[in-house]
């Protein structure tokens, strides 16, 4: 007896749940030849605001977790991604060999960032010499809620901008690649079952032109990563909107994420706090 396959419904990922867009809209995702692949939810500005609320709610718990625990969770995400290697390779749709290599590179990058979770403070923090009977200590702390426009590489590019934000204690709202959004939602399914608290990573699919300025101007967003914004006019518009509440803005070249990651991205989303302690206390 023949049957029709059950098509997957690609939704948003907000606060650990998978809602449809409040607007009820969707958009067509096509393959490289222009053929129909799926319908994805098209997030609205209201969805973006809901995602910021979820990220802000999750921030105290996530930033207050031990660095070791954050590293464990990222490592668990890498383990689960490895276990669904074939599924991700199929969704990337770039040819089996290239897709498997991309998934492997993504797993490796997650493990790399997971290893930095309890080391970045030692690298960026310091004890400062002062002329007085005090300890003067500088230590990095997370910036807060980070809005991220992910690059068009649907998996490795996405992880390369999200991992440095969350491993350092930030929470984020991510605009997935408009051209290839499906792997981002499948990755959200991995995040939802990997002990990552709801709201730490929120994934929106839709039109970058509609969502990015809304997040840039949101007064409860603390930093803006424009790595995936290739449109120079849109990037300038977002920078101007971000100036309203003095957001930290990252505007690297669109291909910047492909380089050896180093500690640069993690450092860019941390703020240094300096405290004084009297000697002997």
Question: Could you read off the pLDDT of 112-170 as tens digits, one per residue?
Answer: 999 999 999 999 988 888 888 888 888 999 999 999 999 999 899 999 999 999 999 99
What pLDDT was estimated at residue 109? Answer: 95
Distance, C-alpha 136 to centroid of its chain: 33
Q: What is the CATH number of the domain that holds 138?
A: 3.40.605.10
- Which range of residues forms the domain containing residue 271? 26-278
Number of domains in the chain: 1
Distance in angstroms (rounded) separating the CA atoms of residues 55 and 60: 10
Question: Could you read off the pLDDT of 210-222 as tens digits, one per residue?
Answer: 999 999 999 999 9
Mean pLDDT of the chain: 91
Sorted by sequence, the CB contacts under 8 Å of residue 244 that are 6+ apart come out as: 217, 219
- The answer to whether the beta carbons of residues 221 and 215 sit under 8 Å apart is yes
Which secondary-structure segment (H or E) carries 196?
Answer: none
Q: Is residue 129 part of a domain?
A: yes
Distance in angstroms (rounded) separating the CA atoms of residues 140 and 106: 26
b or e along 70-89 (b: 16 or more beta carbons within 10 Å of the residue's beta carbon)? bbbbbbbbbebbbeeeeebb
- The answer to whether the beta carbons of residues 145 and 195 sit under 8 Å apart is no
The conformation of residue 279, written as its DSSP 8-state character, comes to: T
Residue with tokens 């990220």: 55
Distance in angstroms (rounded) separating the CA atoms of residues 60 and 40: 31
Q: Is residue 160 part of a domain?
A: yes
Phi first, then psi: give them for residue 221, nearest 5 degrees: -100, 130
Starting at the edge strand found earlier in the chain, the sheet holding 270-278 runs 126-128, 134-142, 270-278
pLDDT beyond 70 at 281: no
Q: Which two tokens stand for residue 134?
A: 């005090």
What pLDDT was estimated at residue 31? Answer: 75
pLDDT beyond 80 at 259: no
What pLDDT was estimated at residue 214? Answer: 95
Give the residue-averaged pLDDT of 56-82: 96
Q: Is residue 76 part of a domain?
A: yes
Strand 248-250 and strand 223-225: pairing? parallel
């Amino acid at each position: 007896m023949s049957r029709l396959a059950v098509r997957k419904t690609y939704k948003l990922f907000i606060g650990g749940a998978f809602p449809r867009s409040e607007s009820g809209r969707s958009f067509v995702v096509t393959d490289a030849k222009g053929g129909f692949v799926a319908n994805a939810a098209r997030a609205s500005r209201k969805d973006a605001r809901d995602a910021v609320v979820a990220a802000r709610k999750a921030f105290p718990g996530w930033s207050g977790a031990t660095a070791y625990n954050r590293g464990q969770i990222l490592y668990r995400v890498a383990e689960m991604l490895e276990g669904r290697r074939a599924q991700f390779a199929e969704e990337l749709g770039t040819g089996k060999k290239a897709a498997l290599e991309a998934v492997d590179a993504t797993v490796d990058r997650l493990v790399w960032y997971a290893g930095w979770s309890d080391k970045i403070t030692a690298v960026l923090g310091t004890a400062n010499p002062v002329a007085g009977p005090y300890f003067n200590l500088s230590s990095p702390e997370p910036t807060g809620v980070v809005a991220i426009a992910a690059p068009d590489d649907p998996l490795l590019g996405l992880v390369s901008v999200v991992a440095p934000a969350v491993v350092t204690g930030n929470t984020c709202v991510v605009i997935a690649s408009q051209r290839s959004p499906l792997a981002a939602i499948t990755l959200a399914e991995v995040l939802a079952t990997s002990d990552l608290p709801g709201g730490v990573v929120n994934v929106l699919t839709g039109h970058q032109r509609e969502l990015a300025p809304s997040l840039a101007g949101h007064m409860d967003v603390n930093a803006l990563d424009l790595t995936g914004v290739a449109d120079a006019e849109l990037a300038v518009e977002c920078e101007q909107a971000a100036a309203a509440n003095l957001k930290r803005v990252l505007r690297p070249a669109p291909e910047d994420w492909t380089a050896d990651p180093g500690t640069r991205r993690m450092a860019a989303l941390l703020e240094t706090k300096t405290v004084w302690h009297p000697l002997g206390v």
